[in-house]
Amino acid sequence: MIQRAGGHRPGARRTRAALAMTVVLLAVVGLAAPASGARSDYYLAAGSGTNVFSLRLAGSMNSTWRGFLRDGVSAWNGTYSSTGTVISITSGSTNKSVRLGSLPSGMIGRYQYGGSRSDRTFVVTVDAEKIADAPNRISSIGSWARFTTMHELGHALSLKDNPDTSSSTVMDYKPMSWTGVYSAPRAYDRSAVASIY
């Protein structure tokens, strides 16, 4: 039998180790240490350190899809008066981009990031094929492309998926009708971004 040193109660060491691991995991997924004024129910540490940045529409896409993605960017720019958000689209060099691409099953958009919060790099990928191939989305391809771009850029603006709220938000995975996706960030989203930046 191995004797425990210091009279610790059984499992205490495991409990401290589990707590330490939980803190590390929370930090990794962006739930720890919200920015000044931000609340952990919506804050994602993987976002950019600023809500004013430039991005490129990268890769090959036709003018229709380019317009859909621009609409997603414009939706966030439409919140400027309440959030101060300015996302410019550039043809120049930048380490932030939105592109079309193929994603794993069940995903129509993805936000991938790198670097530190103050020097954030990211790529937003929108799966045009999955959006266009769903029969019930045919009449709303543009709406879904805009919504997906807007949702993924929400991560770049430090918003996490499925925030703990009953308010409507572009970051929620609650079921929506195929034609009823949001065309602009909701009041909850605007308030969250304003409190972070």
Domain map of the chain by residue range? 52-196
Model's pTM, two decimal places? 0.79
How would you classify the pairing of strands 109-114 and 52-58? unpaired
Question: Which position has the higher pLDDT, 121 or 33?
Answer: 121
Residue with the two structure tokens 């809500």? 51
Q: pLDDT band for 83, please (50, 70, 90 cuts).
A: very high
How is residue 119 written in tokens?
Answer: 């020097």
How is residue 188 written in tokens?
Answer: 């909850």
CB 89 within 8 A of CB 70: yes
Q: pLDDT band for 140, please (50, 70, 90 cuts).
A: confident
How is residue 185 written in tokens?
Answer: 């960030």
Query: Which pLDDT score is estimated for 178?
Result: 56
Sheet holding 109-114, edge to edge: 86-89, 52-58, 96-100, 121-126, 109-114
Pick the CATH number of 52-196 from 3.20.20.150, 3.40.50.2300, 3.30.1950.10, 3.40.390.10: 3.40.390.10
Query: pLDDT for 17-69, tens place per residue?
Result: 333 333 333 333 343 444 555 577 899 999 999 999 999 999 999 999 999 99
